[in-house]
Amino acid sequence: MAEKINLVDSNYQSQETNIKNMVSEKEQALFHIKNQNCASYKLITEPLEFLTPFFDSNKTWLTVGDYNGLEANFLLQRKQCVTASDLSDAMLREAKSDGLIGDYSKQNVERLTYSDNSFDYVICKEAFHHFPRAYLGLYEMIRVSKSAVVLVTEPIDILSKMSLLLMVKNVCDRINPRLINKIWKNRFSWESVGNYVFKLSEREIEKIAMGMGLPCIAFKRYDHFKS
């Protein structure tokens, strides 16, 4: 058990160090926020436009995994009350000093320091798949939100979308549980900082919602290449 915990802590430490190292490239990391007419900013923020119905009144938001404050800046421009958070606050501190964000906090998603229902909404964009124990993070985000948790642009578990691949895996497992790995070379994905890429499926979200008795869930499909 100690080895498992140490592995998780090591993973978080690697990610935190990676973010701290980005401070030396501050201008590049904050370029999109400072130059919002550039194509890259519009590409990055376009998936957030579906949140427009949430902006009919001023609400409180917590952004999770918001390493440079981009999501917080997006929400602030839409008159929302936002606290940006990330595993390291090194880059958020720079964004704050440049006047790009307001409140920010250093947070480990598995142990958020906020009380229950502290925010109306919690949003996590392109960070959930980095979490070593992703569901612990999701439960924490649900705990501190009053109304909803929004996960944006996360990798999809393709087994949930490709029934043929699932059938092939099941057949291979009956022959030899390791056989599928020879066919499906990138079955398990890892990123350069060392974390396993946690892939979601709609069915998994449904089960979590049902288990917790949540009132509703919603999915919005988005494809950069079709927009």
For 145-159, write each residue's pLDDT tens digit: 999 999 997 877 777
Tell me if 101 sits within 8 A of 92, measured CB to CB: yes
- Residue 173 φ then ψ, to 5°: -65, -30
Residue 1, judged by CB atoms within 10 A of its CB (0-12, 13-18, 19+), counts as exposed
Residues linked to residue 193 through DSSP beta bridges, in sequence order: none
Predicted pLDDT of residue 227: 53
Dump pLDDT digits (tens) for 78-129.
999 999 999 999 999 999 999 999 999 999 999 999 999 999 999 999 999 9
Average pLDDT (179-203) is: 82
What is the average pLDDT value for the chain, to the nearest integer?
89
> What confidence category does residue 226 fall into, taking pLDDT thresholds of 50, 70 and 90?
low
> How much is the average pLDDT of 209-226?
87
Element (H, E) at 170: helix 163-175
Choice between 201 and 13, residue whose per-residue pLDDT is larger: 201
* 105 falls within a domain: yes
Q: What is the pTM of this model?
A: 0.85
Adjacency order of strands within the sheet including 145-152: 103-106, 81-86, 60-64, 119-125, 145-152
Which residues partner with 81 through β-bridges? 60
Instruction: Give 1 or 8, the one with higher predicted confidence.
Output: 8
Backbone angles phi, psi at 76, to 5 degrees: -60, -40
pLDDT average, residue stretch 65-87? 97
Q: Give me the pLDDT at residue 4, please.
A: 56
Q: What is the domain range of residue 21?
A: 2-156+189-226
DSSP state of 86: E
Are the C-beta atoms of 193 and 15 separated by less than 8 Å?
Answer: yes
Q: Is residue 150 part of a domain?
A: yes
Q: Is residue 117 one of the residues assigned to a domain?
A: yes
Q: Is residue 69 part of a domain?
A: yes
Give me the percent of the chain exceeding a pLDDT of 70: 96
Residue 194's DSSP bridge partners are none
User: What are the backbone dihedrals phi and psi of residue 190, each rounded to the nearest 5 degrees, phi first?
Assistant: -130, 145
Q: Residue length, the chain?
A: 227
Smallest CA-to-CA distance from 103 within 119, 75, 121, 81 is with 81
pLDDT bracket for residue 225 (50, 70, 90)? low
Let me know: does 45 contact 76? Beta carbons within 8 Å. no
Domain membership of residue 171 (yes or no) is no
For residue 172, tell me if it sits in a domain: no
Based on the structure, what is the number of domains in the chain?
1
Does residue 175 sit within a domain? no
CATH number at residue 128: 3.40.50.150
Instruction: Return the beta strands (E) in the chain as ranges.
Output: 60-64, 81-86, 103-106, 119-125, 145-152
Tell me what pLDDT residue 2 has.
54
Looking at residue 158, its pLDDT comes to 75
Give me the pLDDT at residue 1, please.
Answer: 54
Per-residue model confidence (pLDDT) at position 6: 76
Q: Which residue has the higher pLDDT, 160 or 82?
A: 82
Does residue 110 fall inside a structural domain?
yes
Cα three-residue angle 61-65-71, rounded to 5 degrees: 50
